[in-house]
Structure 1
């Protein structure tokens, strides 16, 4: 299958072909916000999973689980605006960024147990939004950098609470973790909690991963590795929408461009898997039926 035709204005004419960015952030006040969504849509992007930015990046210094609601509500608002601009739609993914544990322990004087309790409570608040249908999935994980053993143990406990909540509310859990090609232990924890391991998504994944479903960063080599492996995967940019970090991670045009390139390289079946079959299997969403 060849690439979709592209009009002179840069928009794709590949009607009926979903293009999903599995993980990005949108900041309606400090960042590009809807301009970024327009860039994504102009290049043929149709669907977005929008993850709330780390709470402190939205001015939330939580002392109580309910304090996270401000960050969650901001994300719901930006998702609604994004859906109005897409041929498909956007969905919110809500949770507590695992890096918060260091901010609490190192900067705010929490002990690891107190940090664990607050972060798990924030996830329980996020799960309320899943329960009433306003959010699609949860976000959790553990630091991708070295921390003290007590902080590591607290972070793993928070992540395992996310798996329990995912099982309770029949939803996927996206993870921010250390770089790894083997997270079978983490997948086993999810299974123990009653959450099917394929519904655990490793955000910022490389092209090969044992355990959870990888959400592969749109590096060409990583995408080719994922295609060659023949296992389910998703595609993402982790666009951060931060004016202080304009070149950080990948821009919102990247997934549509990589989809077109993968088709040119003969990987149409893998593209369909990443944008139709795997989103349905992991999140229960219909990216074809929600077009138009």
Structure 2
């Protein structure tokens, strides 16, 4: 396999040896020119874990870290784990307990995730709020969970990836600031150009060349779910390197743009070094 010429980071990808391609998906990413990934925790239920207390999320986090170790050992791709509680956990857990109990369990799970960050085992947190229609009580509690996550990230001095509804999510600027969190370290996963947060854009997003001309700071992701039941969703593991290198070859982005997307912005937001 030839040595990659450029650093290329997939900012939001899931790798799941239980239910998907597992390490083979990372090998595809590498063959396409990918070099680094942010490995994000999957929802607890997808790993067969059904939390009844915050401690139960350790199983999710530990499995994510184990997969990260296997990836680096078997492929050489550099992995940056991002740990947290998927915002949909609240509605799933509410099927077997009160939503208030579910919210408390998620807060405790996030507190544990932040401990992993302070121990140097992960680079950031994942939180947010459901991206589907929910009743007012769940909206209020989800925002409480998110505020707790911002507070934890502020204390840990780390970034946070947001999984939430489509659109700007502009209210999160004040939410983060009120908890002592620097909004410049808040990444909107599956982002759109209209957000004041740092958008992580799906690799096929048509606005990428234009945003590069505007010198906009953003990252790129596949949001690959690695589930055999949904092959290639959201887009495949080769997508970020393929789209990046194709745009570079076509001249719709420059080398300067590539380094800003895949090296400089991640360094600024996450505090990570991305090198070949």
TM-score, normalising length: structure 1: 0.90
Counterpart selection for 2:234 from 207, 230, 249: 249
Show the counterpart of 1:52: 41
Structure 2 gap ranges (5+)? none
Describe the SS at the equivalent of 2:195.
coil
Query: Is 1:69 matched with 2:55?
Result: no
- For residue 23 of structure 2, the aligned residue among 34, 43, 46 is 34
Q: Aligned runs of 1:90-239 on 2, under 5 Å?
A: 90-105=79-94, 107-108=95-96, 110-180=97-167, 182-206=168-192, 208-239=193-224
Deviations 1:1-25 (A, max 9, x none): xxxxxxxxxx66543x210000010
Structure 1 residue runs of 5 or longer lacking an equivalent are 1-10
Deviation at 1:194, TM superposition (A): 1.2
1:121-176 per-residue CA deviation (whole Å, 9 max, x = no partner) reads 11001111001001111000001111000000100110111100000000000010
Q: 1:240 aligns with which of 220, 225, 237?
A: 225
Q: Is the 8 A contact 2:225 2:232 kept in 1?
A: no
RMSD over aligned CA atoms reads: 1.5
Distance change >3 Å, CA 220–CA 154, structure 1 → 2 = closer
TM-score by length of 2: 0.95
1:281 is paired with a residue whose SS is helix
- Could you list the runs of 4 or more consecutive aligned residues of structure 1 that deviate by over 4 angstroms after TM superposition? 11-14, 85-88
Tell me the number of residue pairs that the alignment of Structure 1 and Structure 2 aligns: 274
2:261 aligned with 1:277 = no
Whole-Å separation in 1 of the counterparts to 2:88 and 2:211: 27
Deviations 1:234-254 (A, max 9, x none): 000000000111132111100
Deviation string, structure 1 residues 203-249 (Cα, Å, up to 9, x no partner): 0113x133210000112413234324421000000000001111321
